[in-house]
Structure 1
Amino acid sequence: MLRLLLLQVLASCLWLGHSEVVTSFEDCHQFFYERATPSDALHPKKLARICQRYSNSYHYATLYDRDRRIPVYSAYIYGTGSGKKPHTPWFVEPSTDTFSSFYLAKLINETYLKDMDTESSIEKKYKITAQQIGESQAINQDYNNLQDLNRGHLSPSGHQSGNNSKTATFTLTNIVPQNSTLNKGAWNDYETKTMAEKTEDCKTTYVITGAVPGNTNIPNNRVNVPSHIWSAACCLVNKKRRKAWAVIAENDKNEVENLSLGDLEARLTELYKGKRVTLFSKACPR
């Protein structure tokens, strides 16, 4: 009887849309050019679609792999401007584990549910443990004592404008274990220098950055180490002109390979065992 009641509460709360782990990206479709999301070829067996919300606003969208505890990709609109790189604790997503008692407890408070929060805040508020929070997402202790790896953003703070948007990138659902030399070296050069050069004549630039699951995990065996990190951009120069570009990097080398959008989609199709990958709508040049 109690189980039935809990399931009824869950169904009711999901129908009301209380959770930002959503069945589609409709609430944050603005981060995808022409509302076109990447093809299902990238979908893991157990996924969560997250409209990343902080301070009562959406800042980007993430497709999350609940089994491997890494994001598949994050989609955002490139921007630079005011705001410094924040010094903030890492956040977790309030509701990636759909059927846990933790999830049901959180649905009680609508205001709390909508925004990402810290582990300590959630633990105190709902009297739960970090292990319960980590049932289907990474937690802080997963990233302790890493060797040759660090926390690699898919939606980086440097590509966001304003303090809240930058802060919103510091959630564990937006990072992967990335080779530390790559993260601080060639990949950082791409994020800071190449993107600035590529977007000089762009009015709006849509970006999708992702990670290909690898065959190894970090030492505690909970979080997957991606084999590749990739990124693609579709830029609107004016009403008639579009341009696109892409990069990919093996996650054990300090090298970034420049590609066309079409070449990246073809490469990802191979890496995902022949399932055809598309990242943007047909309007973006291949």
Structure 2
Amino acid sequence: MLGLLLLQVLSSCLWLGHSEVVKTFASCPQFFYEGTFPNDVLEPKNPAYICQRYSNSYHFATLYDRDRRIPVYSAYKYKPGSGKRPHTWSFVEPQLIGNNSFKAMEREWALIKQYKFHFNQIKDSQAVLDDYEKMLGLDRGQLNPSVHQDSTDSKTATFTLTNIVPQDSCLYIRQWNTYESEIMLQLTNTCRTTYVITGAVPGNNYVAEGRVNRPSHIWSAACCLVDIEHRKTWGAIAENDEEQVKLLTLGELEDRLTRLYGREKKVTLFKNACSQQ
């Protein structure tokens, strides 16, 4: 009887461990302005809501498209800093692999060698390193870039494939990099807190032998808290085969995304209180 009770308790613990990938971001609302998430217009058919966990802490949130094997968006607080540059290996998300007790991202080899996962289990659930090694003219584009984080742990956490999309190499190293590294610094110079949601519009083409979607556009939106009473917002978008980033108002970006997704209901990224300036 005692053995059966212990088994039931263990089973409960394993299920609770799997609760990090659920149907809401209830475990990590702090990465969204006033804890309010974007509306459901961007939600894919087979979503995974991931509270990105590394070194026993949450660092950002990602809505992941299981079918296309790319993130829909990542949400985070903009905190650029001089933390030590981490290793640039890429993690995978064991929580996407059925029921298991893992709460945090992990490296592929560790899951296979140490924890006895089969490679096909990982590959069936998400993009893997081998997918990105086969891509030509494309880079691993981070939606939450490491340069927008201050600590070594937060920077390291961005190197997970659930935060990465196939991004045009020229766009990645030039104009989008300029936006991330220089323009964001200029736009946030009066902000005490900035909430960012960066996403990718699914495209019509697939890479890595048809496994991973190549987005048609990369976009980003920001909600800046200047002080208790004042807010400012902006957006940016780029076609994923051109070297041009367009700066927009938040309202213009939401209208553009509504058209790109072909939905009647309008995309809403931030709670209305983050006024559109």
TM-score range, shorter chain: over 0.9
The reply on whether 1:285 has 2:272 as its aligned counterpart is: no
Deviation larger for 17-26 or 209-218: 17-26
Does the aligned pair in 2 maintain the 1:150–1:177 contact within 8 Å? yes
Partner of 1:248: 237
Which runs of 5 or more structure 2 residues have no equivalent in the other structure? 1-7
Q: How does 1:130-141 map to 2 (within 5 A)?
A: 130-141=119-130
Q: Could you tell me which amino acid in structure 1 is paired with residue 235 of structure 2? A: A
Does the aligned pair in 2 maintain the 1:50–1:61 contact within 8 Å? yes
Does the aligned pair in 1 maintain the 2:207–2:214 contact within 8 Å? yes
The reply on whether 1:206 has 2:187 as its aligned counterpart is: no
Deviation at 1:132, TM superposition (A): 1.3
Does the aligned pair in 1 maintain the 2:95–2:103 contact within 8 Å? no
Does the aligned pair in 2 maintain the 1:68–1:222 contact within 8 Å? yes
Partner of 2:4: none
Distance 1:234 1:184, change over 3 A: same
Partner of 1:225: 214
Please list the CA deviations of residues 204-236 of structure 1 after superposition, one character each: whole Å capped at 9, or x if unmatched. 000000000000011411000000000000000
Partner of 1:239: 228
Does the aligned pair in 1 maintain the 2:18–2:95 contact within 8 Å? no
Distance 1:57 1:10, change over 3 A: same
Partner of 2:64: 64
Name the CA distance, whole Å, in 1 between partners of 2:197 and 2:14: 27
Please list the CA deviations of residues 15-54 of structure 1 after superposition, one character each: whole Å capped at 9, or x if unmatched. 6354421221111100000111111000000000000000
Partner of 2:146: 157
Partner of 2:24: 24
Name the SS of the counterpart of 2:121 in structure 1.
Answer: helix
Q: Could you tell me which amino acid in structure 2 is paired with residue 269 of structure 1? A: T
Partner of 1:268: 257
Deviation at 1:124, TM superposition (A): 1.4
Does the aligned pair in 2 maintain the 1:130–1:139 contact within 8 Å? no
Please list the CA deviations of residues 251-285 of structure 1 after superposition, one character each: whole Å capped at 9, or x if unmatched. 00010001000000000000111232000000112
Name the CA distance, whole Å, in 2 between partners of 1:161 and 1:34: 22
Name the SS of the counterpart of 1:264 in structure 2.
Answer: helix
Partner of 2:5: none
Which runs of 5 or more structure 1 residues have no equivalent in the other structure? 1-7, 98-102, 108-112
Distance 1:36 1:14, change over 3 A: farther
Name the CA distance, whole Å, in 2 between partners of 1:145 and 1:11: 39
Name the CA distance, whole Å, in 2 between partners of 1:139 and 1:9: 33
Q: How does 1:48-59 map to 2 (within 5 A)?
A: 48-59=48-59
Q: How does 1:40-55 map to 2 (within 5 A)?
A: 40-55=40-55
RMSD: 1.7
The count of corresponding residues between Structure 1 and Structure 2 is 268
Does the aligned pair in 1 maintain the 2:193–2:224 contact within 8 Å? yes
Deviation at 1:80, TM superposition (A): 1.4
Does the aligned pair in 1 maintain the 2:17–2:103 contact within 8 Å? no
The reply on whether 1:173 has 2:173 as its aligned counterpart is: no
Q: Could you tell me which amino acid in structure 2 is paired with residue 76 of structure 1? A: Y
Name the CA distance, whole Å, in 2 between partners of 1:14 and 1:202: 41
Does the aligned pair in 2 maintain the 1:25–1:61 contact within 8 Å? yes
Please list the CA deviations of residues 148-183 of structure 1 after superposition, one character each: whole Å capped at 9, or x if unmatched. 111000000000011000000000000000000000
Please list the CA deviations of residues 101-158 of structure 1 after superposition, one character each: whole Å capped at 9, or x if unmatched. xx33x32xxxxx1211100000113323322102121000000131111100000000
Distance 1:272 1:126, change over 3 A: same
Partner of 1:85: 85
Deviation at 1:94, TM superposition (A): 1.0
State which of 119, 122, 132 in structure 1 corresponds to 2:111.
122
Q: Could you tell me which amino acid in structure 1 is paired with residue 273 of structure 2? A: A
Distance 1:202 1:143, change over 3 A: same
Q: Percent identity?
A: 60
